[in-house]
């Protein structure tokens, strides 16, 4: 039952992430907001682990690969992306980098 809920939630997260990336492309260029994209990589890892514990090796391997590729892409590309202009007052706020 929990696996079905996790799979359905992952599908919703996948659709919402794709919509957000298409609708708000500027969010991917701003490191302060782009770190929220790591939720997709984390969800791939969590669902893949649950599938692996049930013996579903191939879907788990596919999700592990997706998690790794998403994490590598976000980790390598985000620091090199020119960020949003940060004012002195905004520099003291959290930027989501705690996802790392």
Residue 81 pLDDT level (bands cut at 50, 70, 90) = low
Residue 36 pLDDT level (bands cut at 50, 70, 90) = confident
Q: What is the pLDDT of residue 98?
A: 57
pLDDT in tens, 68-80: 998 888 777 665 5
**Which residue, 47, 64, 59, 57, is CA-closest to 5?**
47
**Which residue, 84, 74, 80, 2, is CA-closest to 39?**
74
Backbone angles phi, psi at 83, to 5 degrees: -85, 180
User: So where are the chain's domains?
Assistant: 33-79
Start-to-end CA span in the chain (Å): 30
Residue 90 pLDDT level (bands cut at 50, 70, 90) = very low
Arithmetic mean of pLDDT, 7-24? 87
Interatomic CA distance for residues 91 and 8, integer angstroms: 37
pTM of the model: 0.69
């Amino acid at each position: 039952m929990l696996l079905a809920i996790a799979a359905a939630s992952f599908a919703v997260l996948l659709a919402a992430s794709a919509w957000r990336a298409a609708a708000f492309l500027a969010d991917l260029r701003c490191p302060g907001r782009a770190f929220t994209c790591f939720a997709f990589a984390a969800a791939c890892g969590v669902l893949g682990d649950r599938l692996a514990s049930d013996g579903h090796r191939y879907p788990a391997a596919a999700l592990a690969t997706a998690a790794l590729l998403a994490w590598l892409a976000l980790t390598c590309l985000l620091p090199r992306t020119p960020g949003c202009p940060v004012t002195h007052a905004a520099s003291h706020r959290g930027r989501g980098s705690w996802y790392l």
